[in-house]
A and B are shown apart, each in its own frame.
Chain A
Amino acid sequence: MSQNVITSPTGHDAHDEHHGPSGLLKWLTTTDHKIIGLSYTITAVVMLIIGGALAELIRAQLATSNGHLVSFAQYNELFTMHGSIMIYLFVGPFAFGALANIIVPLQIGAPDMACPRHNALRYWLYLSGSITMLLGFFTAGGAANFGWVGYAPLTSSLNAPGAGADLWIGGLLLTGFSAIFTGVNLIATIFYLRAPGMTMFRMPIFTWNLLVTAILILLAFPVLTAGLIMLYADRHFGTHVFSVAGGGVPVLWQHIFWFWGHPEVYILALPFFGMATEIIAVFSKKPVFGYKGMIFATITIAALSLGVWAHHMFTTGVVLLPFFSIMSLLIAVPTGIKIFNWIGTMWRGELWFSTAMLMSIGFLITFLIGGLTGIYLASPPLDFFTHDTYFVVAHFHSVVMALVLAAMGGLYFWGPKITGFLLNERIGKAQFWLLFIGTQVFTFPLYILGLQGMPRRMAVYPLHHDWVNLNAISSVGAVLIGISTLLFALNIVVSWKKYPAGDNPWDAQTLEWFTTSPPPHHNFYRLPQIRSERPTWDYNHPEHKSVAHASHEN
């Protein structure tokens, strides 16, 4: 075990070379945020592939009206574990565990995360939580089968007696603690380890979004953890928090779950908003349009997100419809500001349609579709009509597929910084078109199916001419998305250590592009003077220095 005492980058012993373990022991013992972030990235992408494979099975089952690929019981497991893996084990950990872990310290000029061992612990909790949840497939009763939202009373020991349900709860507990530790570590890092001159209003938008995400994590995740402990007690210790039989209230689970679940939507989305913002600015060769407006929009989204949870519960009949409807509709305002600012950043820019930029534009369009259909769902009369139909499934798949597009953009953009090598752009662009077109072909028929009344979570459906065709088209879209994922894997193989990236391949603006690719053990050999939110750009282009935002800061 070695301890590296760090002085600031101008100190003479700031960059001691690290002589730690090598091989497997290096991965087990590392406290370097970049290697931990890489472990997160690899694990999250494996989860994406597993969750994606389950999605392909679901779409294969639904490609015909009376599919026999899986049994009804297996279908319940499929949609439960597909949703659980994608939300709990891929999108979230990828957003605030993988790229955030690698990029945030680099963007603020920090040598590491504030609590490096704590940082390593959260990865091991995430990995063991993921394994715990997946172990359900290998138990006698199969994996959890009550939907990713785990509504009471479907989760009671009577309705879900197997070990799969307990493994689902246990896995969520571990990944939940991992997320809470992430929140603590990100806030401590951003508040205490910024480089001199990196004031709050000079931080890149990605880092700002991660700060707000971390605050939301600390507000939301403990509620879920508490709910899971109550659920486990109901199942095994004879309590009746969520069961009517003993005087409990099943709808309480929905309150607790969605009090976590809706902020979770923004916990998932805000990091990807940040990624898209960085990418769009770099490939438009412009500063972010409305920098402070973007930050205030992010804070507003976070503030409103704690007051919208029951729009998932309109049809329960026990929630205050006008309050939740107004709050949900209000979120469209800051989100709209973001969309206009992304367009404003591109406006009259010197656009470079790299794969990362295409992915970000694809994100913008797909997220707009998902966001607009979300406005319909915030209206109780429309929600009553479409609740639990494929319209809702299409809405949130537009949103999460937009996040997948942004995630891919992030990998193409920051991958070279992490590995030192670029990915092949031709294969990347082919991947983009398949992913983007596949997403629309996959989701659009689902919107129509939902409006025609097709309920979600059905393994078979009536032999209605429209429904069969629309489901078949949607399944084709899912296949296109699957092929795009294979292209990504192919790209990694084809490009493996082939195209050296250099330190700043995109002529980018923020501090992570000032250091080497990959960065040294404690990140920086030197730092530039920081006078705007684009220190690397200012250093490389002294003739086009940014206008500072910081004139009235303290």
Chain B
Amino acid sequence: MKIEAKLLLFLGLFFGAMCAVYWTWSLENAGGVMMFSGMLLCFLPGSYYLWWSRRMKARPEDNPNATQESGAGFVGTFPGSSIFPFVLGMGAFFVVLALVFGIWLLVPGFALAIWALLGGTSEGRRGGNR
């Protein structure tokens, strides 16, 4: 996990340095703000991973000498199939079409999205018992 953290922190540091040079040299705000936000976006997960990597045991995927047996055990619950991504996608489709063709399309759009969110959540709870 340390390499993952260092990758993000390196990018954040680079964006920070680039931002400092650019903003002080150009005095242009749009680019400065966007670069600064980019730096924060890298620091946020990067520092979390660094903090966490110092407190966790090395995972099998971080151990160069790991055997396949060392990774045996529960990985996660992967739904084999689900209609709700399609329903939510169609809900989003109708919501966007409502921006163009008429506000009434928000009704089927939100109906589909709410159905998908409720159905998907309960589906996840049913499948997540182990």
Please list the residues of chain A having a beta carbon within 8 angstroms of any beta carbon in chain B.
1-11, 18, 20-21, 26, 28-32, 111-112, 116-121, 123-125, 127-129, 131-132, 163, 166-167, 169-171, 173-174, 177, 191, 193-202, 215, 218-219, 223, 232, 252, 255-256, 259, 299, 302-303, 306-307, 309-310, 318-320, 323, 327, 521-522, 526-531, 548, 550-551, 553-554
Given contacts A1-B83, A20-B80, A29-B82, are A554 and B89 in contact (CB under 8 A)?
A: no
For the A-B complex with A199-B61, A199-B64 known, give 6 more contacts whose Cβ atoms are closer than 8 Å.
A5-B78, A32-B80, A121-B85, A232-B99, A259-B31, A303-B10
User: Looking at the complex, which one of B14, B21, B93 makes contact with A174 (CB distance below 8 Å)?
Assistant: B93
18 chain-A/chain-B pairs, Cβ below 8 angstroms: A1-B80, A5-B130, A7-B74, A8-B72, A10-B72, A29-B81, A30-B81, A121-B88, A124-B92, A132-B96, A171-B96, A196-B67, A215-B11, A299-B7, A307-B18, A529-B67, A548-B64, A554-B3
In the complex, the answer to whether B4 meets A200 with C-beta atoms within 8 Å is yes
In the complex, the answer to whether B67 meets A5 with C-beta atoms within 8 Å is no
In the complex, the answer to whether A3 meets B127 with C-beta atoms within 8 Å is yes
B contact patch SS: helix
Determine the chain B residues whose CB is within 8 A of the CB of A202 once the complex forms. Answer: 64
User: Looking at the complex, which one of B1, B75, B84 makes contact with A6 (CB distance below 8 Å)?
Assistant: B75
Given contacts A174-B92, A200-B3, are A323 and B62 in contact (CB under 8 A)?
A: no
In the complex, the answer to whether B100 meets A166 with C-beta atoms within 8 Å is yes
Interface assignment of B22: CB less than 8 Å from any CB of chain A: yes
Determine the chain B residues whose CB is within 8 A of the CB of A223 once the complex forms. Answer: 34
In the complex, the answer to whether B8 meets A2 with C-beta atoms within 8 Å is no
In the complex, the answer to whether A124 meets B41 with C-beta atoms within 8 Å is no
User: Looking at the complex, which one of A26, A177, A299, A521 makes contact with B10 (CB distance below 8 Å)?
Assistant: A299
Determine the chain B residues whose CB is within 8 A of the CB of A169 once the complex forms. Answer: 99
Determine the chain B residues whose CB is within 8 A of the CB of A194 once the complex forms. Answer: 61
Tell me the bound Cα distance from A531 to B75 in angstroms. Answer: 22
Determine the chain A residues whose CB is within 8 A of the CB of B71 once the complex forms. Answer: 8-10, 195-196
Given contacts A121-B88, A197-B61, A320-B22, are A4 and B72 in contact (CB under 8 A)?
A: no
Within 8 A of A (CB), among B88-130: 88-90, 92-93, 96-97, 99-101, 120, 123-124, 126-127, 130
In the complex, the answer to whether A255 meets B7 with C-beta atoms within 8 Å is no
In the complex, the answer to whether B18 meets A174 with C-beta atoms within 8 Å is no
Q: Which are the 10 A-B pairs with shortest beta-carbon distances? A: A124-B89, A3-B127, A196-B60, A120-B85, A128-B93, A196-B71, A196-B66, A194-B61, A2-B80, A550-B64
Determine the chain A residues whose CB is within 8 A of the CB of B68 once the complex forms. Answer: 8-10, 195-197, 526-529
Tell me the bound Cα distance from A531 to B63 in angstroms. Answer: 10
User: Looking at the complex, which one of A118, A123, A259, A323 makes contact with B21 (CB distance below 8 Å)?
Assistant: A323
In the complex, the answer to whether A218 meets B41 with C-beta atoms within 8 Å is yes
B2 to chain A, nearest CB (A): 5
Determine the chain A residues whose CB is within 8 A of the CB of B97 once the complex forms. Answer: 132, 170
In the complex, the answer to whether B80 meets A303 with C-beta atoms within 8 Å is no
In the complex, the answer to whether B28 meets A7 with C-beta atoms within 8 Å is no
In the complex, the answer to whether B64 meets A124 with C-beta atoms within 8 Å is no
In the complex, the answer to whether A199 meets B62 with C-beta atoms within 8 Å is yes
Determine the chain B residues whose CB is within 8 A of the CB of A218 once the complex forms. Answer: 41
User: Looking at the complex, which one of A30, A111, A196 makes contact with B61 (CB distance below 8 Å)?
Assistant: A196
User: Looking at the complex, which one of A2, A32, A299 makes contact with B11 (CB distance below 8 Å)?
Assistant: A299
Closest-by-CB residue of B relative to A548 is: B64
In the complex, the answer to whether B4 meets A117 with C-beta atoms within 8 Å is no
In the complex, the answer to whether B62 meets A554 with C-beta atoms within 8 Å is yes
In the complex, the answer to whether A166 meets B99 with C-beta atoms within 8 Å is yes
B57 to chain A, nearest CB (A): 11
User: Looking at the complex, which one of B35, B60, B100, B123 makes contact with A307 (CB distance below 8 Å)?
Assistant: B35
In the complex, the answer to whether A303 meets B11 with C-beta atoms within 8 Å is yes
B120 to chain A, nearest CB (A): 6
Tell me the bound Cα distance from A80 to B101 in angstroms. Answer: 22
Interface assignment of B86: CB less than 8 Å from any CB of chain A: yes
Contact with A along B31-46 (1 / 0, CB 8 A): 1001100100110000
A334 to chain B, nearest CB (A): 13
User: Which of A6, A20, A256, A554 has most B Cβ within 10 Å?
Assistant: A554
In the complex, the answer to whether A522 meets B92 with C-beta atoms within 8 Å is no
In the complex, the answer to whether A116 meets B83 with C-beta atoms within 8 Å is no
In the complex, the answer to whether B79 meets A116 with C-beta atoms within 8 Å is yes
In the complex, the answer to whether B86 meets A29 with C-beta atoms within 8 Å is yes
Closest-by-CB residue of A relative to B128 is: A3
A125 to chain B, nearest CB (A): 5
Determine the chain A residues whose CB is within 8 A of the CB of B25 once the complex forms. Answer: 320, 323
User: Which of A219, A327, A522, A551 has most B Cβ within 10 Å?
Assistant: A219
User: Looking at the complex, which one of B22, B30, B65 makes contact with A197 (CB distance below 8 Å)?
Assistant: B65
Given contacts A197-B64, A198-B61, A303-B11, are A177 and B92 in contact (CB under 8 A)?
A: yes
